[in-house]
Amino acid sequence: MRKSLSFLMFFCLLAALAAHPPKDAQTAEIKVKEVSPFSYCCIAHKGPFTEVENVIGKLMQVSQSRNIFPTGALIGIYFNSPEEVKPEELEWEIGFPISDQVNISEPLKKKVWKITSVVAAIHKGAYEETGTTIAKMLEWMKEKGFIQAGPVLEKYLTMPTPETKPEDLRSEIWIPYQKIQKSHKI
């Protein structure tokens, strides 16, 4: 009973953190944004996105049993996409920000998001449909002369409950970028 109560408290903490997104997170526009580096705890995974729920469950169970608590919303970092590789070759990780002082051991990993220049947008709707927003962001980047320069990060601003409607879900998407250098012909 005590363990399940602690687990419930852990999820309540996550929900409370996610319920207060940054003030600029209410806009659906695509924009360039400077972000601060942060440490995070994660479980790295290789396989189809249908396994995300199981990985989240494992992350929550292991981190709660070790008294590791988030300092921000749940995140997913995606190193490739279904358009590039077969589902079993997809590489991604699920995690959450933590303080720098937290010690981590397997199966958890401690990493640092070091990328500070990103193209950002808020996806409104089911998390399974973020690919649509990402495609729009990549098209916008192409028009602006940017190329992708790192993995896609999704910050899940709404922690779903059984009552949450898909259209009420919000996630902030970051795509690292760099400006394309145009060569000058002589």
Query: Which conformational region is residue 142 in: left (phi greater than 0), alpha (psi within -120 to 50 degrees), or beta?
Result: alpha
Distance, in Å, from the CA atom of 86 to the CA atom of 89, rounded to the nearest integer, reads 5
Distance, in Å, from the CA atom of 36 to the CA atom of 53, rounded to the nearest integer, reads 28
CB 122 within 8 A of CB 134: no
Count CA within 13 A, CB hemisphere, residue 172: 23
CB 18 within 8 A of CB 158: yes
Which of 94-103, 161-170, 177-186 ranks highest by mean pLDDT? 94-103
Nearest to 73 by CA among 25, 121, 143: 25
Query: Which conformational region is residue 60 in: left (phi greater than 0), alpha (psi within -120 to 50 degrees), or beta?
Result: alpha
Q: Residue 98 class from Cβ within 10 Å (0-12 exposed, 13-18 middle, 19+ buried)?
A: buried
Please report the pLDDT score of residue 183 as a whole number.
58
- Percentage, residues of the chain above pLDDT 90: 72
* pLDDT of residue 5 exceeding 60: no
- Give 161 or 85, the one with higher predicted confidence: 85
- Give 56 or 19, the one with higher predicted confidence: 56
Please report the pLDDT score of residue 38 as a whole number.
97
Please report the pLDDT score of residue 3 as a whole number.
42
* pLDDT of residue 11 exceeding 70: no
Please report the pLDDT score of residue 162 as a whole number.
85
* Domains in the chain with CATH codes: 2-179 (3.20.80.10)
Give the chain's mean pLDDT. 85
Distance, in Å, from the CA atom of 16 to the CA atom of 56, rounded to the nearest integer, reads 17
The amino acid that residue 13 corresponds to is: L
